[in-house]
Structure 1
Amino acid sequence: MATLTTGQTFPHFELPADDGTTVSDAQLRGKPYVIFFYPKDDTSGCTLEALDFTALANEFEASGVPVFGVSPDPIEKHCKFRDKHGLQVPLLADPERTLIEPAGVWAQKSMYGKTYMGVERTSVLVDGDGRIHRVWPKVKVDGHAREVLDEARKLAGA
């Protein structure tokens, strides 16, 4: 499994978004962007993280750095999650893990003594050349979106 490191090229992706469009690394080339990988729609930590990014969505937009959430949930579930919580960040569906696995965030996890495979909560700031500027592995949600915004602003010169 790959591990994301600063300076390396971010993996190629083309994923469906909750608004019916498709988002790819190719169309984002030339500007920085943020991808936050999260385990599952409508769980407490994932909801809090998505709400935090939503609360800062206008500030990310003003700095010219779009933000995208990625999980293995299907589009239908993303749409319900978005509508239920009024989310304003695009959610990309990766049920086949075509980005999740190359990004190295599909990992063995453990809960209540059971071991399973799932998404390791991770955020990545990618520069305009498609290279990884910063990685936040094993994210703790509280204050995280603000930290990512601060770093995104520095990168974008905003």
Structure 2
Amino acid sequence: MPMDEGMTLPPVTVTAMDGTPMRLSDRPLPAVIYFYPKDDTSGCTREAKDFSTLADAFAAAGASVVGISKDPPSSHGKFAAKHALTVTLASDEDGSACDAFGVWGEKQMYGRSYMGIERATFLFGADGRLVRAWRKVKVAGHAQAVLEAVQAL
């Protein structure tokens, strides 16, 4: 079931890079939650770098940012270290967050169908309700557009 505007931030738990549980509904609000397919791939690297570059601006606007994929915490640690990422990354190995946000589904590449994470971003306001969702994200300029939406809250 997709996450629709007005819905509240689901109380799902993901795993931080250090292996500790992180309950998404306990994140500081407003919150930006973005889902990406895989660590250290070209589009995902660019997206994480873009959010990291703007991390201070998100913080100045009072927003927390979390990037989520199904990669294990150890992969996130290597990915963050390799690219000097400052954005918080979390693992959804059991798929509960992907299911709660409706981002797990059939994808196609080069005529082949497979299951995977849809690149999507969700902005939750100070009241914990979804203000805006970006689906099927194109990476170029995306982090800046999300920042502008946060600043407009």
TM norm. shorter chain > 0.5: yes
The two structures have a TM-score, normalised by structure 2, of: 0.95
Alignment of 1:105-120 (within 5 A): 105-120=103-118
Give the whole-Å Cα distance in 2 for the aligned partners of 1:54 and 1:18. 16
Superposed displacement of residue 55, structure 1: 0.5
1:128 aligns with 2:126: yes
Alignment of 1:2-151 (within 5 A): 2-28=1-27, 31-151=29-149
Give the whole-Å Cα distance in 2 for the aligned partners of 1:91 and 1:56. 15
1:101 aligned counterpart, secondary structure: helix
Cα-to-partner distance string for 1:47-72 (whole Å, 9 max, x where unaligned): 00000001100100111101000000
Superposed displacement of residue 28, structure 1: 2.3
Q: Contact conserved, 2:10 with 2:25, CA < 8 A, in 1?
A: no
1:68 aligned counterpart, secondary structure: strand
Superposed displacement of residue 20, structure 1: 4.5
Give the whole-Å Cα distance in 2 for the aligned partners of 1:26 and 1:44. 29
Q: Contact conserved, 1:15 with 1:94, CA < 8 A, in 2?
A: yes
Q: Percent identity?
A: 47
> Residue 8 of structure 2 aligns to which amino acid in structure 1?
T
Q: How many residues align?
A: 153
Moved over 6 A (4+): none
Superposed displacement of residue 18, structure 1: 1.4
Gaps of 5+ in 1: none
> Residue 93 of structure 2 aligns to which amino acid in structure 1?
P
